[in-house]
Structure 1
């Protein structure tokens, strides 16, 4: 299953950016040509992330459509299915563009249970406690 390779790539990027902090959620943008679904990538990610900073984290997947251009009628359209037929003429002689990217959009870190050096556990504002 190719999802494991994708999940390993996501985990490597997450670990690099998390810098040892626990991760709760990951948002990833994946092109339609990668043919992944959120349930499949979450299953693979939970297996590869076991014991890591992302253990138990969920992956939110945003599928980016591929652009299809029909060679018969010239119509272009965006589709989540890279194997679609032309919606204009029904043709199957299709060129595809894009849809192969994998982008880590965001990481949600787990909340810290306390702030080191602050016994009241007061997080304060950007300028310190008020």
Structure 2
């Protein structure tokens, strides 16, 4: 049974949180370091980090008085798996479109030869 993805999708729904994930993909960061990249209060950034944590997308560890935020890329696997299910849908649709275009192109080519 797949895990409950609702908290993860909720975390991914916001563009600021997606930006934070990209930054944390480059390196671990403190709240202050993350805050430096946004025009919002540190408290607002902290709320975004809490939502990302609730979605399992980041981990937080203490280093002295600092809280270090790290990307938990493994939490994206169930999301990728869920989205992967739709690949077969698109593959089928795209194959049908390709066949229709090839058929139309073949018909057009045959029609032009008879003119």
TM over 0.5: no
Higher strand share: 1
TM-score (norm 2): 0.30
TM-score (norm 1): 0.28
Higher helix share: 2
Higher relative contact order (CA 8 A, sep 6+): 1
